[in-house]
Amino acid sequence: MLAARSPLCTILNLCLKELKELKRSNQPQRPKTKTYDKDERSKPMTTLTAQQHAEEMTDYVAAGIDRANSLGNRGPLKLGADGKLTPDILAAYERTGFYIFEQVIDEQELTLLRDEVDTLIDRAPVDNYATTDRKGRPAFGQEFARPVYTLVRPLADPWGGTDALNGRHPTKMQQPSTENQPADRVVFLMFGMCQTMSSGLRLYGHHDLLAVAASINGDDFVPYNDATFIKQPGRGGSVSWHQDGVTHWDNPDWDPGIHGFNFQVQLYDTSARSCLWVAPGSHKAGKIDIKALVDANGGSDKLPDAVPLHCRAGDVTIVNRQALHGSFANTSPDLRISLTFGFHRRSSVLGAAGALSESEAVVYDEERILKRSEVVGVAIDARANFYPEQPRYSYQPLAGREDSLRFNDDNWQRIIKDYNLNDLSI
């Protein structure tokens, strides 16, 4: 599949060459893993402390920053006279598979977003599915159909080496020792920002971000889902190397953009130690044998040629969902909070079967797509009411229905509450 569709990117050439050399020399394979918690299977033994892990990352991080700064894929979000991204930005995104838009969200909006996120973290349950928070109060979000929170052990990789999310995380990241740290679990993910945060709903209707979605996926683009990633200083968990897409790898009409993209809105300065890392150009390579890459790298999770998406507060990244990406345990003193939400081409979703956390028996028809897309319409109106001086985005699939999609109590109950039951995962 790889050779037929596109040239291999540098990381694949390097790692596959090393894999062949490894096999020829009969070097020992990666040690077998040992099972610990039921929800965090295949946890490898580790002798690294958090401090040792931080020290071990130093040279890799420095080299990654140099590689990232040479790519030419960061700068202001620029729209042309047609309301679409300028050709230079689109070309850089298509070449590398990601882009960093600088200073998109202003300080006033960042403050509102931070305040609501802080409240959500403060009201989180003590563990997954618990009903009380750390202060003994009822945990937030129990009125919603899907859990708002995912908590993990400090510095853990909860998905790597498990069958979670269709097994798309086949390898495990390094999990430093948590000795001398509190044993309680930490908030790792929060879901449903459009129903849990007024500022999150308004962000979802941001004119320029929706214009980016139209530029990449067409004017009839459709939403995917959202999740807030939280990397607490010195305790945040990791996400093992993976590609997001699962549906279209064997599609005869496959191309590098068929699985859509994700935004990440950065609420704080995000360092190279706490941020997402991406393998440039890997979105063109088809479905990648990630385990082979890690094995070829001597079992190390520090893949060569990957680069960090280090950002300033208010920056917004976009990453192709087919790009190889992941993040390391946060043994740094840096906080990262990334509001993540994605969009698809309509043609990629219409008629597709459910994927990731949803049954394959579910088929995404026009009714399902419309129901999920109405959230965009309400979000646009919520933003227009709060920021009347800003341009209002005109979302083509809902043109003429603006009056029925006003931000009000009825539409919050009908459209926004439990909207993520209708996410469109491919």
Q: What CATH topology corresponds to 2-422?
A: Jelly Rolls (2.60.120)
Tens-place pLDDT, residues 26-74: 333 323 322 223 343 334 445 789 999 999 999 999 999 999 999 999 9
Closest CA to 175 of 308, 326, 301, 333: 301
pLDDT, residue 13, reads 47
Close Cβ partners of 19 (under 8 Å, ≥ 6 residues apart): 292, 293, 295, 296
pLDDT, residue 178, reads 80
SS3 126: coil
Tens-place pLDDT, residues 247-267: 999 999 999 999 999 999 999
pLDDT, residue 225, reads 96
Close Cβ partners of 419 (under 8 Å, ≥ 6 residues apart): 192, 194, 195, 372, 375
Helix axes 207-217, 87-96, angle to 10 degrees: 60
Tens-place pLDDT, residues 325-338: 999 999 999 999 99
pLDDT, residue 163, reads 87
Q: For the chain, which residues score pLDDT lower than 50? A: 1-45
Structure-token pair, residue 217: 């996926």
pLDDT, residue 352, reads 95
pLDDT, residue 60, reads 97
